Amino acid sequence: MLTLSMISKRFANGTQALRDLSFAVAPGEFVSLLGPSGCGKSTALRIAAGLLLPDSGTVTRATDDIGFVFQEPTLMPWADALTNARLPLDLKKLPRGEAADRAAAALARVGLSGFESSFPRELSGGMKMRVSLARALAAQPKLLLLDEPFAALDEITRNQLGDDLLKLWREDGLTVLFVTHSVSESSYLSQRVLVMTPRPGTVMADIALAPGRDSRLAPVTIDAQRMISTALNEAA
C-alpha cells in the first residue's frame, strides 16, 4: 500500500532530518513508527502523505484515498463538529446532503453522536481529537496516517481512543501508519513496529509482533514492550 525507498530530507536551516529511510506497509497492516524525539518520524509521515517532498528517494502509494490525523486536532474554531468533520468532503465538492450524512456517520463511529452542533471550545481534548479522527474517516480512506494523535491526552482517554482506533481499523480494513513515541502504545496497537535511529532518522529495526495482544497487560504484550525497548536502546 505504501513504500518509502531511500528517503533523505534536509531542511533549510541545515537540519538533516532523514537519511536513506526505507520501509513498506502492506495492505491492511497496522504499523507504528517509533523513535526518540526529533528523529524525523513526523517528517517521514508527511513525506508519506505527499505533504512534504523528499530531497531524494521515492514514495509509492497504491491509493490516493488517504486520511491524515495531526498531533493537534487542527479544527476550525468557528465551525461546529459536523462542519469540521465534513471538510474533506466539501473540498471534494460532494453534494452537501451526502457530505453531511457521511460526516454525521463518522462522528457517530467515534462516539460523538449528539455533538454535531458543538464547537471546539465546547469539547474536551479527547473529544476534539475524536472530531479530527472523524474528519479523516469521513473521506473513507484506504490509508490512514496518524502523527502522535493521542500524545497530549490523559492515559484513560488515550487508551480509549487507542481501542477505538483498533476497532475502526478492523471494521474498515484500513492500512494504518501510526507515529508514536510510546513503547506501550506501539506494543499494543501494532502488528509491526519500525524503530528509528536518532536524527538523521532511518529504520534500524523492523519488529513483527506476535498475535494475542488482546490487552495491554497480556504477557505477549509485555514481551513486545521488552523487545521494542531493547531495540530503542540499541538505536540510541
Listed by start position, the domains of the chain span: 2-65+141-235, 76-140
Task: Give domain 2-65+141-235's CATH architecture.
Answer: 3-Layer(aba) Sandwich (3.40)
CA–CA dist 179, 71 (Å, integer): 9
Count the neighbouring beta carbons within 10 Å of the beta carbon of residue 96.
11
Res. 7: pLDDT tops 80: yes
**What share of the chain has pLDDT > 90, as a percent?**
93
- Residue 171 is predicted with a pLDDT of 94
Q: Residue 50 region, left (φ>0) first, then alpha (ψ -120 to 50), else beta? A: left
pTM: 0.95
Confidence of residue 45 (pLDDT cuts 50, 70, 90): very high
Percent of the chain scoring above 70 in pLDDT: 100
Confidence (pLDDT) at 37: 87
* Contact (Cβ atoms closer than 8 angstroms) between residue 22 and residue 33: no
Dump pLDDT digits (tens) for 197-224: 999 999 999 999 998 888 999 999 999 9
Phi and psi at 118, nearest 5°, equal: -80, 145
For 63-116, how does the pLDDT look when each residue is reduced to its tens digit (9 = 90+)? 999 999 999 999 999 999 999 999 999 999 999 999 999 999 999 999 999 999
Specify the pLDDT at position 183.
Answer: 94
- Picking from 136-145, 148-157, 178-187, which range would have the lowest pLDDT averaged per residue? 148-157
Residue 234 has pLDDT above 90, yes or no: no
The C-alpha angle with vertex 164 and arms to 115 and 128, in degrees rounded to 5, equals 40
